[in-house]
Structure 1
Amino acid sequence: MATFMDVHTGMKGITAEQLAAAHRADLEVEAQEGVHFKHAWADPESGTVYCLSEAPSADAVQRIHKLTGHPAAEVHPVPLSV
């Protein structure tokens, strides 16, 4: 499985509760595409949300996010980490 970081924009003012709800929604259906969402972060001021996942492809990540109503603006592979 590959690691991906995706970026959502336009979520200005997102609260911790809204972020948690969006993350839970992803977790509830992630298995449909073989994805595992590991963590999510948000900057309410800029409206940017970041999600870290393991998945077979960037397309699989995007399909889950679209299914739960919050498609990512970008999905980046993360081939190296420490």
Structure 2
Amino acid sequence: MAKYMDVHHSMKGITEEKLREAHNADLAIEKDEQVHFEMAWADPESGRVYCLSEAPSAEAVQRIHERAGHKADEIHPVPLTVQ
């Protein structure tokens, strides 16, 4: 499975509660597409939300986000990571 970082641009003013609700909506159905959403970050001022996931494809990530009601504007593969 590959890792993906997706970006949502239109969530200006998002609160921690709303971010958690959106993330939980993804988690509730992620197994349907063999996706696992690991973490989400948000910048309420810019409206950007970032989600890190592990999935078989970017299309699978998008299908879950669409079904959960918040389609991603960008999805990027993350081929290399360091800690």
- After TM superposition, is the score higher than 0.5? yes
- Quote the Cα distance in structure 1 between the aligned partners of 2:67 and 2:33: 11
Other-structure match for 1:2: 2
Other-structure match for 1:55: 55
Other-structure match for 1:69: 69
Q: TM-score, normalised by structure 1?
A: 0.99
RMSD over aligned Cα atoms: 0.2
- Quote the Cα distance in structure 2 between the aligned partners of 1:72 and 1:79: 19
- Quote the Cα distance in structure 2 between the aligned partners of 1:10 and 1:50: 11
Q: Does 1:30 align with 2:30?
A: yes
Which consecutive segments of 4 or more residues in structure 1 shift more than 4 A? Answer: none
Structure 2 spans left out of the alignment, 5+ residues: none
Q: Does 1:18 align with 2:7?
A: no
- Quote the Cα distance in structure 2 between the aligned partners of 1:52 and 1:75: 10
Structure 1 spans left out of the alignment, 5+ residues: none
- Quote the Cα distance in structure 1 between the aligned partners of 2:54 and 2:80: 13
Q: What is the one-letter code of the residue matched to 1:13?
A: G
- Quote the Cα distance in structure 1 between the aligned partners of 2:75 and 2:7: 6
